[in-house]
Structure 1
């Protein structure tokens, strides 16, 4: 598991005992879709969290809210939409001015925590891997979500398309021309 610099001193027992994804897969597969359970009449015990809870957990910038966030994470049975992961990456990198590598380490840490179910986990994992190759996390997540397509079109030929080509990503990322 990748380590997260923000988590190294965290008081949460979860951050010290995180299990690999395979150890939480059975639990995760039973509770990945709160809406389906809700519509079927069975009320899920899984709680979804917003970006600000995760930001407080990692940044520790507000003592009271950080303690609450640690308790929430330690309690487990949490669902994190991939849009929250995307927003968390932006908050940590742009607002908290952290380097991309540090942010990717924290995202990898987050999805490895026991009791955490992340929407489209495989796409998030792929986006983290692509991010290690210098591809913007949002672009990498778009690419991972487009895995069943024949190509991904963008006008970002200088950055995204070149990096994707260099790393031979599938589907290929292409710049459309007239």
Structure 2
């Protein structure tokens, strides 16, 4: 009879993310095993190799993103759109731990399966933005561009002087884009 799991898969994946944050993209299964308090063999038995854990982490993130976005109210109009975008951006925090997001993006570039899951996550966000825009032929394209502003501003923040927190930095650029692009004639 197999032993009962003392840690859920979600706990293990969260711990793997912590190791990724501290060790970077070169983290090992042994480091994850030590961090979570399981043997390397147990990790391999439950998840497979390091790439399989990365894939499960990405799949879990897509599911969490879907659940979170589905929990938010769907309202339209300029004020509702801004509240929604602000909610998304504020969830990113002031920048603490953002290096993990950059590390994950680097892995997504290298691994086609991770890249597909990143695309799914981005599509969920863009669909959620589009649902809050007026029903026009440009709705999907406008949502994609607003999401691009968020993603691009986050990378600009990485190269900034660091005096402004991540969310504030992004919101400033997003506000400008909405005022000048979304409401443009």
Q: Provide TM-score, normalisation by structure 2.
A: 0.30
Whose Rg is larger?
A: 2
Q: Provide TM-score, normalisation by structure 1.
A: 0.31
Flag the structure with higher strand content: 1
